[in-house]
DNA sequence: TAAAATACGTAACAAATGTTACTGAAATAA
DNA sequence: TTATTTCAGTAACATTTGTTACGTATTTTA
C-alpha cells in the first residue's frame, strides 16, 4: 500500500492532503488495489460505474466498440491517471466504452460512497477530497469548452488561430514551441496533416506567422486575433 | 424569498431537498437575491467568480467580447437557469465572458463556501446539495463529450448519422421528430443550412432515411451505423 | 558514421462544404 | 380568407479541405 500512496499523493485528487490522511481515506472508503492482466476488462460498455480508479502500475486502453464491431483505442491511461470521475456522479452511470488492461496492471479502486457521505468526524481532509473532485470536474468542463471553441471555428485557419492564441496567452510570448508534432496537432484540430501543413505555410506566406518545426513566431497579432473571432 | 423558493425548488441543484431545507441552505450560505436592470453587468470578462447564480426573474445574456470589439451573445439564460457552476470550482476562476442583464432581472447569488464547508451539524440536505452539484458538473461533461463526438465526425453525413442515432436510441423508435428546425440543427452540427438540406436529401436519395420537415424515418439502420463509426 | 525510420512540406487532383440566390410550402397575422 | 412572413429545398458556382504521392530534412538506430 505504501507504493500506492507514493504514486497517488501526486494526484490532483489528493492535493493538499498529507500521506497519513490519504491512508485514512483509503481505509475509510474501502478502496482496494486490484491486479489485472493483459486484455482483462476493468469494465465493459454499459456497465454501471460505481468507483473511480487510479492507475498505479501499467497501462489501460479505453476502447470504443464501433457498430461494425471494430475496436478503436480512444485513449491510453498511464500511471496516476484518473478514470470514471464523471460517470460515477452523472445521471446515467453507464459507460460508453470498455476499459481494458494492456499488459499487467494495478489499479486503485475508490468506491463512490466516500464522495457523498461525510464521515461523522467531519474531517478536514474529507472536505478537501470532495473539493478536489469538484475542481477536477470543473477543470474538465473548462478544457472541453476550450476544445469546443477550437472545433467551432469556421475554417482551419480560424482553428489554428484560436490554438496559437491560447499558447500565446499561456506563455505570454510571441515566440514559443508547440507541444505537439504535426500529426498530433492535425488530429487535435480535426484535419489531415497535409491540410494543416498547407495552411501553416499559407499563413506564413501571408505574413501572419513564422513557423519552423515546432517553433512559432507570431508576426501579426491583430490579424491572428481577427481570424480567431 | 418565497417566490425565490417556488422557482428554485424545481432546480436540479435542489433536487430531493424540501422547501424547509432549501430555506436553511439559503440562510446558512448567505445567499441573496440581487436585482439588475437593462444592460447592467452581473460580472465581466476576467472577473473572479466566487458565487453560483440562478435566474429568478428576467433574462440574462452571456456575451463574448471578440478581439475586434464586437460583442456576440453566446447564450441566453432564463428562469431557473444556473450559471457559474464550473467557474467557481476550477483552478482558474476567471470568466471568459460578460454576463449582462437583458431588461430587469432578479438573480439568486449563492456564495462558494456553502459547497466546500460542511456545517458542523452535518445535515443530510447539505450532503445532498453537494451531491447534486457533482451530478450537474458530471452531466455537463457527458453532454460536452457527446457534442464532441458529433463534431469529431469526418464528414457532415457522419455528424448527421451520430445525431440521428442518439435520437433513435433515446426514443427507441425508427420514426421520430427532431426537436430542432433546420437552422438550429445546422448550427448544432456546425455547418450551413443549405449544406445540411443538401446532405439530408442525398441520404434520402440513397435510401438511408426518409425525412419531411422534422419527421425522420430510419430506413437502413446498418448503413446509418456504419456512417457514425 | 552510415543506414533506416520518421517527420514534414508540397503539389495535383478529387471531394466536401460554403455562398448566393431563388423557389415554393407552411405557418402566422391581418 | 388573403397577405405576409418564416422555413425549407435546390442549383450553380466558389472555396476549402481531403487524398495521394513524392522528395527532403531530421532523428534514431545499428
Q: Which residues of A105-143 are buried (b: 16+ CB within 10 A; e: fewer)?
A: bbbbbbebebbeebeeeebebbebbbbbbbbbbbbbbbe
A136 vs A69, residue with greater confidence: A136
For residue A131, name the pLDDT band (cuts at 50, 70, 90).
very high
- Residue-wise pLDDT for A93-105, tens only, equals 999 999 999 989 9
> Whose C1' is closest to the CA of A190: which nucleotide?
D17
pLDDT at position B119 over 90: no
CA-CA distance, A228 to A69, in Å (whole number)? 39
| Pairwise CB contact (< 8 Å): B190 & A151 | yes
Q: Would you say the C-beta of B178 is within 7 Å of strand D?
A: no
A157 touches strand D (CB under 7 A): yes
List, for residues A194-212, the tens digit of each pLDDT value. 999 999 999 999 999 999 9
The yes-or-no verdict on residue A122 having pLDDT over 80 is: no
3 state SS for A34-69:
EEECCCCEEECCCCECCEEEEEEEEEEEEEEECCCC
Q: Kindly list the residues from chain A whose CB atom is less than 8 angstroms away from the CB atom of residue B229.
A: 66-68, 70
Alpha-carbon distance B141 to A177, whole Å? 30
pLDDT at B170 over 90: yes
CB–CB contact A148 B151 (8 Å)? yes
Which residues, in sequence order, are bridge partners of residue B210? B217
In this complex, do A90 and B228 lie within 8 Å of one another by their Cβ atoms?
no
**β-strands A215-218, B82-83 pairing:** unpaired
Q: Write the CB contacts of A62 (distance below 8 Å, at least 6 apart in sequence).
A: A73, A74, A75, A76, A77, A83, A97, A98, A99
Do B33 and B82 meet the contact criterion of CB atoms below 8 Å apart?
no
Contact of A224 with A218, CB cutoff 8 Å? yes
Distance from CA of B213 to the nearest CA of A (A): 26
* Stretch (H or E) spanning A83: strand A82-83
With cut-offs at 50, 70 and 90, classify the pLDDT of residue B68.
confident
Distance from CA of B120 to the nearest CA of A (A): 8
Check CB contact of B152 with chain A, cutoff 8 Å. yes
Q: How would residue B203 be classed by pLDDT, with cut points 50, 70 and 90? A: very high
Note whether B117 contacts A127, CB cutoff 8 Å: yes
Please, what is the Cα angle at A224 between A218 and A225, to 5 degrees?
125
What is the sign, positive or negative, of the torsion defined by CA atoms of B112, B133, A55, A188?
negative
CB atoms within 10 A of CB A83: 22
- Spatial distance from the CA of A200 to the C1' of C4 (Å): 29
Q: Which residues are CB-contacts of B184 (< 8 A; sequence separation ≥ 6)?
A: none
pTM for this model (two decimals): 0.94
By the 10 Å C-beta count (0-12 exposed, 13-18 middle, 19+ buried), B88 is classed as buried
Give, in order, the Cα–Cα distances in Å from B6 to each of B14, B58, B128.
11, 15, 19
Query: Is there contact between A192 and strand D, defined as CB under 7 Å from any strand atom?
Result: yes
Distance CA A43, CA A49 (A): 8
C-alpha B161/C-alpha B149 separation (Å) is 11
The answer to whether the beta carbons of residues B54 and B110 sit under 8 Å apart is yes
Question: Where residue B88 falls among pLDDT bands split at 50, 70, 90?
Answer: very high
The average confidence (pLDDT) of chain B is 94
A91 and A48 Cβ atoms separated by less than 8 Å: no
Range list of β-strands (E), chain B: 32-36, 41-43, 51-65, 71-77, 82-83, 98-111, 175-177, 209-212, 215-218
Residue-level pLDDT at B196: 98
The pLDDT-based confidence of B117 (bands split at 50, 70, 90) is: confident
Distance of CA B18 to the CA centre of its chain: 24
Please tell me whether any atom of strand D lies within 7 Å of the Cβ of A106. Answer: no
Amino acid at each position: 500500500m505504501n507504493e500506492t500512496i507514493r504514486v497517488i499523493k501526486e494526484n490532483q485528487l489528493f492535493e493538499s492532503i498529507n500521506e497519513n490522511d490519504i491512508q485514512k481515506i483509503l481505509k475509510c472508503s474501502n478502496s482496494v488495489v486490484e491486479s489485472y492482466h493483459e486484455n482483462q476488462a476493468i469494465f465493459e460498455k454499459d456497465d454501471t460505474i460505481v468507483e473511480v480508479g487510479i492507475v498505479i502500475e501499467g497501462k489501460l486502453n479505453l476502447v470504443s466498440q464501433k457498430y461494425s464491431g471494430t475496436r478503436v483505442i480512444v485513449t491510453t491511461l498511464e500511471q496516476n491517471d484518473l478514470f470514471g470521475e464523471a460517470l460515477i456522479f452523472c445521471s446515467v452511470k453507464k459507460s460508453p466504452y470498455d476499459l481494458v488492461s494492456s499488459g499487467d496492471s494495478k489499479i486503485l479502486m475508490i468506491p463512490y460512497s466516500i464522495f457523498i457521505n461525510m464521515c461523522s468526524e467531519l474531517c478536514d481532509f474529507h472536505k478537501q477530497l470532495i473539493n478536489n473532485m469538484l475542481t477536477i470536474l470543473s477543470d474538465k468542463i473548462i478544457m472541453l469548452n476550450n476544445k469546443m471553441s477550437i472545433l467551432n471555428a469556421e475554417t482551419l485557419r480560424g482553428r489554428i488561430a484560436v490554438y496559437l492564441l491560447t499558447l500565446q496567452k499561456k506563455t505570454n510570448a510571441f515566440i514559443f514551441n508547440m507541444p505537439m508534432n504535426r500529426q498530433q496537432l492535425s488530429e487535435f484540430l480535426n484535419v489531415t496533416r497535409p491540410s494543416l501543413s498547407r495552411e501553416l505555410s499559407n499563413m506564413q506566406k501571408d505574413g501572419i506567422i513564422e513557423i519552423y518545426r515546432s517553433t512559432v513566431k507570431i508576426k501579426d497579432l491583430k490579424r491572428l486575433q481577427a481570424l480567431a473571432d
